[in-house]
């Protein structure tokens, strides 16, 4: 069967979007993605998780092509097991940005994702992982976070909400880094100008797919650039209000097979 004339690329976030709370994908959603593949369209994972934390999920989903990881800082090829493209966050810029944020809000707790297909997630004392299933290595002091090149910094504050911390960070950090919020307890600093849209655009170019042919699903403010880039952007029912405000469509939640509901309409049974 020929690919859908409307959408040749289905871009999905993972946490809060395709994945349920227990890191699984429902049988209905898996069946919908299989239907997309039979129609000739491609499924592309676009996630804030770094490549090392995505590889097991790609295997679980049966993805052997490209994936956009690290909030767009990495384009990973699952077939070859290597990064086709990656951008690092400069250590000095990261430390300067952290200093500006702490001068404004007091102490924050930081973690980093190291660059590379085998990079670790390092967390400093006091930092609590928002997603307990993701592996992390605790270091003794902040300076230890910079032992290897990194792709991003993750921040938490003891009393400020994610929205409050992200808003203040955007103002004080300015052009030093891109500030994103990708989930509960997950405010991040990544290389300036890098978003999910930049990584998705690179991957789509390699696949020969134009933005107008892309359908994107997400749930958090870090998905806004991706939904803006795609021909059609869908927010989950559980999405952050900022994302819902820019989405072309709102579907059911990640727990209620929201992605499958949309795909079943666009890709009829073969």
Measure the CA–CA gap between 27 and 79, rounded to whole angstroms.
24
The verdict on 150 and 130 lying in the same domain is yes
pLDDT at 2: 42
82 shares a domain with 201:
yes
* pLDDT higher than threshold 60 for residue 202: yes
pLDDT band at 4 (very low <50, low <70, confident <90, very high): very low
Say if residue 166 is in the same domain as residue 100: yes
Q: What angle do CA 201, 87, 65 make, to 5 degrees?
A: 50
Q: Are 116 and 237 in a shared domain?
A: no
Query: Is pLDDT above 70 for 3?
Result: no
Q: Please indicate, yes or no, if residue 103 is contained in any of the structural domains.
A: yes
The pLDDT-based confidence of 270 (bands split at 50, 70, 90) is: low
CATH number at residue 170: 3.30.1240.10
Last residue of a domain, one of 190, 210, 239: 190
Query: Is pLDDT above 90 for 195?
Result: yes
Q: Are residues 183 and 96 in the same domain?
A: yes
Domain boundary among 173, 190, 207: 190
Q: Considering the domain boundaries, does residue 1 fall inside one?
A: no
Identify the domain containing residue 42 by its residue range. Answer: 9-86+194-266
Least confident of 171-175, 259-263, 265-269: 265-269
DSSP 8-state assignment for residue 1: -
What tens digit of pLDDT does each residue of 37-71 get? Answer: 999 999 999 999 999 999 999 999 989 999 999 99
| Average pLDDT over all residues of the chain | 94
Q: Is the separation of the CB atoms in 163 and 181 below 8 Å?
A: yes
Q: At what angle do helices 162-173 and 91-105 cross, to 10 degrees?
A: 120
Round to whole Å and give the CA distance between 238 and 244: 9
Q: Exposed/middle/buried for 211, CB within 10 Å: 0-12, 13-18, 19+?
A: middle
Domain count, the chain: 2
Q: Tell me whether residue 3 is in a domain.
A: no
pLDDT tens column, 63-103: 999 999 999 999 999 999 999 999 999 999 999 999 999 99
Last residue of a domain, one of 190, 223, 238: 190
Once rounded to an integer, what is the mean pLDDT over residues 207-222? 97
Query: How does residue 5 score in pLDDT terms, banded at 50, 70 and 90?
Result: low
């Amino acid at each position: 069967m020929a690919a859908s004339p409307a959408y040749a690329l289905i871009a999905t976030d993972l946490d809060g979007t395709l994945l349920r709370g227990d890191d699984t994908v429902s049988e209905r959603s898996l069946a919908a993605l299989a239907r997309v593949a039979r129609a000739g369209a491609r499924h592309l994972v676009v996630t804030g998780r770094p490549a090392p934390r995505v590889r097991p999920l790609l295997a679980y989903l049966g993805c052997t092509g490209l994936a956009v990881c690290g909030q767009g800082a990495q384009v990973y090829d699952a077939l070859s097991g290597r990064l086709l493209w990656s951008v690092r966050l400069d250590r000095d810029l990261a430390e300067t940005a952290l200093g500006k944020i702490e001068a404004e809000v007091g102490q924050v707790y930081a973690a980093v994702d190291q660059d590379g297909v085998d990079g670790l997630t390092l967390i400093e004392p006091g930092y609590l992982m928002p997603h307990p299933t993701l592996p992390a290595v605790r270091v003794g002091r902040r300076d230890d976070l910079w032992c290897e090149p990194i792709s991003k910094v993750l921040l938490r504050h003891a009393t400020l909400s994610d929205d409050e911390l992200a808003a203040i960070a955007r103002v004080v950090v300015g052009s030093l880094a891109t500030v994103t919020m990708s989930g509960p307890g997950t405010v991040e600093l990544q290389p300036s100008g890098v978003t999910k849209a930049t990584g998705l655009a690179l991957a789509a170019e390699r696949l020969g797919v134009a933005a107008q042919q892309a359908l994107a699903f997400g749930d958090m403010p870090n998905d806004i650039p991706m939904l803006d880039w795609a021909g059609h952007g869908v927010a989950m029912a559980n999405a952050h209000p900022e994302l819902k405000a820019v989405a072309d469509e709102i579907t059911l939640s990640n727990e209620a097979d929201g992605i499958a509901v949309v795909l079943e309409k666009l890709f009829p049974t073969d």
